[in-house]
Chains A and B, each alone.
Chain A
């Protein structure tokens, strides 16, 4: 059983729409990562969070430690945002990352 759950699994939207991807996890964590994976496989780290909120350009990541939930938002979405977005957590006391199954985002022009 995967201890990190993402929703939705697939998301298709029109250019300009506000996008939200959700991540829930089972027990306490020391850090949560949001990653972006383009076709071909390369993974880029977008954010690392342990509390609160971070913003970079059109991307915003939030985390609610009490609810064990994080969201990744994309404002003014663009076709180049099309990718798989992956949530990964480091559970407390552990060193490895545990990954969600990813959300495939497609932004149509």
Chain B
């Protein structure tokens, strides 16, 4: 257990439905990252926050995806009008930026299956 939690761990949904995932980072960590991992591939960057500010978004993050970190603590990732291509593992990681050795601590992931 790294101290980063994600909820739910698994989600099965039908195409066209909206889904929302939550990430709770390690409490003193100011950075929070979202990644997506498809089967047999390494993770791909989606977006990251420093405190409550969303500082970078990947072009992978289409307009159907939105992420928030309203109070600089937990974060949510919402996918609207899900498509089968959205099926993947969604990983969250947190870190203490400004610390000399910035190590990212990963959550267990949310595995999404879109039918």
Contacts and interface: CB of A to CB of B under 8 A. Distances in A.
B42 A100 contact: yes
Interface in A66-109: 86, 88, 95-102
Contact of B103 (A48, A98, A100): A48
A41 B108 contact: yes
B56 A43 contact: no
Which bracket fits the contact residues of A?
20 to 34
A42 B33 contact: no
Contacts of B93: 43
Contacts of B32: none
B101 A98 contact: no
A42 B42 CA distance: 13
Nearest to A6: B42
Interface string B15-53: 000000000000000000101010011111100100000
B91 interface: yes
Per DSSP, chain A at the interface is strand
Nearest to A35: B106
A68 to B, nearest CB: 18
23 contacts: A31-B102, A33-B104, A41-B37, A41-B108, A41-B111, A42-B2, A42-B106, A43-B91, A43-B109, A44-B106, A45-B104, A45-B105, A48-B102, A48-B103, A86-B42, A88-B42, A96-B45, A97-B43, A99-B42, A99-B44, A100-B42, A101-B40, A102-B40
Interface of B: 2, 33, 35, 37, 40-45, 48, 55-56, 58, 89, 91, 93, 101-106, 108-109, 111
